[in-house]
Amino acid sequence: MRNSDQLDVGRRRLLVSTAAASLVLAAPTLIGLGGSASALAKMGFGNGKEKEEEEGEVTPPEDLMREHGMLDRILLIYEAGLRKFADRQDFDPAVLTDAAKIVREFIEDYHEKSEEEQVFPRFKRAGKMVALVDTLLAQHQAGRRVTDVVLQYAPSSARNEDDRRRTVTAIEQFIGMYRPHAAREDTELFPKLRGLVSEHEYDAMAELFEDKEHQLFGDDGFEKMVDRVAELERRIGINDLSQFTPK
């Protein structure tokens, strides 16, 4: 390569490096001026707003609905226990007790408290779906009474016929109530929550849910609870999802 060519290449590289450095230095100024999303996109930094939305927090309805998903997995564990009782199969009823403990700790004392403190009052203040909210609240209270029965009688249900009967009745009641309960919340109540609050209040609610979860269960509290549920599924023999596929 000739000396003149080498000089041209060097100049081009210097210009590119200088331009890139200028863009980086200019980015904070653009952000401060409120034009970060469009300006950074035009400058080659990508669309900052879209990136932020992709990595955004889980919304309040999404948070509550994924917790319903975990509840449904617990109901499947309960149903597996009922089948084993009906078939007189030998299994450790501690699985049912441990499932009821998760219901008490995570569903009743956290998830439902969040609904009762943050969701239900907003509908009542707005005069929206009040009858439904009253029914849902009454079912929360009934569910806690039923969970008390499972926690009391499930540990001795393998050896005591009366305790087994009480456990089976309580679990049937719990499943029979919570399937329609969660379905009604997911399809009727939660979708309307966004229309009752401001954007700021909506975001603050999401942060409150997350902070409360971390306070009660530590970092990754939801994931830890899912792991506990998965272990119970393994213990009672329903961890292989393919077994539910029709033949």
pLDDT tens column, 179-194: 999 999 999 999 999 9
**Choice between 146 and 51, residue whose per-residue pLDDT is larger:** 146
Q: Where are the domains of the chain?
A: 3-54, 60-239
Calculate the CA 42 to chain-centre distance: 36
Whether domain 60-239 has CATH 3.20.20.60: the reply is: no
What distance lies between CA 233 and its chain's CA centroid?
19
Band of pLDDT at residue 24, cut at 50, 70 and 90: very low
Q: pLDDT tens across 54-79, in order?
A: 445 789 999 999 999 999 999 999 99
Q: Which residue has the tokens 């023999």?
A: 237
What is the three-class DSSP state of 219?
coil
Band of pLDDT at residue 30, cut at 50, 70 and 90: very low
| H-helix or E-strand spanning residue 174 | helix 161-184
- Asked if 136 contacts 119 with a C-beta cutoff of 8 angstroms, the reply is no
Mean per-residue pLDDT for 215-240?
Answer: 96
Cα torsion 65, 137, 179, 162 to 10°: value is: 130
Identify the residue whose tokens are 């509908």.
Answer: 123
Q: Is the pTM here over 0.75, yes or no?
A: yes
Computed over every residue of the chain, the mean pLDDT equals 85
CB 47 within 8 A of CB 150: no
Give the C-alpha separation, 50 to 181, whole Å. Answer: 35
